[in-house]
A and B are shown apart, each in its own frame.
Chain A
Amino acid sequence: MNTLSEIFRKRGYSRRDFLKFASLTTALLGLPPSMFPEIVHALETKPKPVVIWLEFQDCAGCSESFIRSTTIMPTEVLLDFISLEYHETLMAPAGEYAEESKKEAMERYKGKYILVVEGSVTPNGVYCTVGGKSNYELLKEAAENTAAVVSVGSCASWGGIPKAEPNPTGAVPVYEALKGKQVVNIPGCPPIGDVMVATIVHFLALGKLPPLDNLGRPKTFYGQTIHDRCYRRAFYNAGKFAESFDDEKARNGYCLYKVGCKGPITRNACPTIRWNGGLSFPIQSGHPCFGCSEPDFWDRGFIYRPLSVVETGFGVEKIAAGVAVGAAAGAGIAWINKKLRGGKK
């Protein structure tokens, strides 16, 4: 049982289900409908991809999101489809056996496996040491002979919460630790499971990565902001804003900008793919987007204040301080001038 269509059949799904998955994935990836037969053919003939999944400074939320990606692919099919040769949270073996199997997989699938990284890396520390090797060593070792490196989640993509001020462990994102190597970033806290699956399917079916933006994110999913595709946008344009959570206005669909929505600067696919099987997404549930898929979102520490205010605050005391300094300088210089002029007389 090696191809995706076979796995669907083995798990009791019909060919119709398989074709539905293939057409949904083609649409999700923004590929033209004419490519549908090519995708179907590839998923019927190509062996399932081999994945080595490393976890460093993370919370395993991305893994959770990944295995619960139920919109396009049933979980049991997914777990069969992705040949997870190594995944600390999901694999059965532990300790030396686990390390052995990873080593073996890296040898056997040299140049062919996809390396997925979850969590940030600490090049100057010995955090997340496994089998006597630091996370940085483990990453470099696994990235050496991989077909592609995929960073899942904001920690692997940008450093995430571990890198938030004051960054006690010296965390860096994967692309910085692997300078010179192409890294696909799938940011989000966590990222949408379907986006991770679709990116891997693209690589499997077409043998190449999907088109990426200059920060390594698949353009199809991260090419537009939440704001661009938000259903509350009409209210934003009309200047109608909710004043607090769950007030009458919020419930009537008014824009959440004033209660802190970071949608205008956040690129992610939440409004289109949504969460929990396409049920809803935060803004639809009444909570502003806090920009989890953008770099340093955790340090943008004004979650419930409008995006346009001064991050550190600027009120009457600061105005008074500025005015006092300016007035003192003005009066001082005027006084000196007067003295000098007086002196000339």
Chain B
Amino acid sequence: MIDVEFYDFVRGPLLEFALYFFFAGIAYRFLRVLLLGLPKDYAKPKGNPLAKAIEKIALKPTQGWRFFMEVFAHRGIQYIGGFLFHVGFLGLTFFVPQHAFLWKEIIGFEPPYMPQLVADILAYSALFSLFALTVHRVFNPVLKLLTGKDEYFANILIGIVIFTGLFATRWSGGGLYVWMLNLHMLSAVILIIYIPFSRLSHFVYYFLSVFFYGWNVGKRGVSF
């Protein structure tokens, strides 16, 4: 098989299919969650649900710091690893120049892009923190019970996407570069298809779930 022919296939029809699949899948899941049909709650609200829901959407990330020391003491690896991973992975997804050009095509707006050196730092930190988080999952008795095939598969897939991206841009030359790029794009395409039907789609439900949580807090008149 000729490497550039494979590249054309992955970057052409396969990527297009994956993007269709992603948007359709996310919309499908979103609608399914929205229309779950929870039983109607007839109790009179004790507080203001809507105000609390909006407050939670706007301020929840900052309110988490109130419990920081308490939680950090027990879940330091998750805090630091999770932070580094998310900053690295999201940074790479949006702000690597090649990705920014792709985003411009998809959303019509070009995110600012960064030099290779910053991308490298993000990639290393995301990769190492992903590794630490995965190992932590394997050895932490509670997390181990909460972890299924979904998490391991997702972690490995994301690891491959980052690693092949790093490998392609940093270490491989000549013919190997195109194959590395192929692997990078193929694993990214698989990830894009996989996201809507895995827990990776949590980023889509974040606002929905925070709104739901705020609504209930407001309804019960709880102070936090």
Shortest distance from the beta carbon of B172 to any chain A beta carbon, whole Å: 10
Task: Tell whether, in the assembled complex, residue B27 and residue A326 are in contact, meaning their CB atoms are under 8 Å apart.
Answer: yes
A1 at the interface (CB under 8 A from B): no
> Which listed residue, A223, A322, A329, A334, touches B22 by the CB 8 Å rule?
A322
Task: Tell whether, in the assembled complex, residue B37 and residue A315 are in contact, meaning their CB atoms are under 8 Å apart.
Answer: no
Task: Tell whether, in the assembled complex, residue A295 and residue B2 are in contact, meaning their CB atoms are under 8 Å apart.
Answer: yes
Interface residues as binary, A308-327 with B (CB distance below 8 Å gives 1, 0 otherwise): 11111111101101111111
Task: Tell whether, in the assembled complex, residue B35 and residue A334 are in contact, meaning their CB atoms are under 8 Å apart.
Answer: yes
> Considering the chains assembled together, what is the distance between the CA atoms of A324 and B28 in angstroms?
9
Task: Tell whether, in the assembled complex, residue B28 and residue A329 are in contact, meaning their CB atoms are under 8 Å apart.
Answer: yes
> Considering the chains assembled together, what is the distance between the CA atoms of A312 and B97 in angstroms?
20
A17 at the interface (CB under 8 A from B): no
Q: In the complex, what residues of A have CB within 8 A of residue B99's CB?
A: 308
Query: What is the chain B residue whose CB lies nearest that of A215?
Result: B2
> Considering the chains assembled together, what is the distance between the CA atoms of A327 and B113 in angstroms?
33
Shortest distance from the beta carbon of B113 to any chain A beta carbon, whole Å: 5
B175 at the interface (CB under 8 A from A): yes
Q: In the complex, what residues of A have CB within 8 A of residue B177's CB?
A: 225, 227-228, 264-265
> Considering the chains assembled together, what is the distance between the CA atoms of A319 and B21 in angstroms?
10
A residues 322-344 touching B (CB-CB < 8 Å): 322-327, 329-331, 333-335, 337-338, 341
Task: Tell whether, in the assembled complex, residue B116 and residue A238 are in contact, meaning their CB atoms are under 8 Å apart.
Answer: yes
Task: Tell whether, in the assembled complex, residue B37 and residue A334 are in contact, meaning their CB atoms are under 8 Å apart.
Answer: yes
Shortest distance from the beta carbon of B36 to any chain A beta carbon, whole Å: 8
Task: Tell whether, in the assembled complex, residue A239 and residue B97 are in contact, meaning their CB atoms are under 8 Å apart.
Answer: yes
B residues 77-112 touching A (CB-CB < 8 Å): 97-99, 101-102, 105-108
Interface residues as binary, B22-42 with A (CB distance below 8 Å gives 1, 0 otherwise): 111111111110011100000
Task: Tell whether, in the assembled complex, residue A307 and residue B4 are in contact, meaning their CB atoms are under 8 Å apart.
Answer: no
> Considering the chains assembled together, what is the distance between the CA atoms of A213 and B3 in angstroms?
12
Count of B residues near A, CB < 8 Å? Answer: 47
Task: Tell whether, in the assembled complex, residue A267 and residue B175 are in contact, meaning their CB atoms are under 8 Å apart.
Answer: yes
Interface residues as binary, B180-197 with A (CB distance below 8 Å gives 1, 0 otherwise): 010000000000000000
> Which listed residue, B27, B97, B101, B102, touches A322 by the CB 8 Å rule?
B27
Task: Tell whether, in the assembled complex, residue B22 and residue A265 are in contact, meaning their CB atoms are under 8 Å apart.
Answer: no
Count of A residues near B, CB < 8 Å? Answer: 53
Task: Tell whether, in the assembled complex, residue A228 and residue B173 are in contact, meaning their CB atoms are under 8 Å apart.
Answer: yes
Q: In the complex, what residues of A have CB within 8 A of residue B116's CB?
A: 236-239
Task: Tell whether, in the assembled complex, residue A310 and residue B12 are in contact, meaning their CB atoms are under 8 Å apart.
Answer: yes
Given contacts A306-B101, A334-B37, contact A326 B115 (CB under 8 A): no
Task: Tell whether, in the assembled complex, residue B175 and residue A213 are in contact, meaning their CB atoms are under 8 Å apart.
Answer: yes
Q: In the complex, what residues of A have CB within 8 A of residue B26's CB?
A: 323, 326
For the complex of A and B, list the 6 residue pairs with the smallest distance between their C-beta atoms, beginning with the closest: A330-B31, A326-B27, A322-B23, A326-B24, A334-B35, A308-B98
Which residues of B are at the interface with A, using a C-beta cutoff of 8 A?
2, 4-5, 7-8, 11-13, 15-16, 19-32, 35-37, 97-99, 101-102, 105-108, 113-117, 173-175, 177-178, 181
Which residues of A are at the interface with B, using a C-beta cutoff of 8 A?
213-215, 223-225, 227-228, 236-239, 241, 257-258, 264-265, 267, 291, 294-296, 299-300, 306-316, 318-319, 321-327, 329-331, 333-335, 337-338, 341
29 contacts between A and B (CB under 8 A): A214-B175, A215-B2, A223-B174, A225-B174, A225-B178, A237-B116, A237-B117, A238-B115, A239-B115, A258-B101, A265-B4, A265-B7, A295-B4, A295-B5, A308-B98, A310-B12, A310-B105, A314-B19, A314-B105, A314-B106, A319-B106, A323-B24, A323-B26, A323-B27, A326-B25, A326-B26, A326-B28, A330-B27, A331-B31
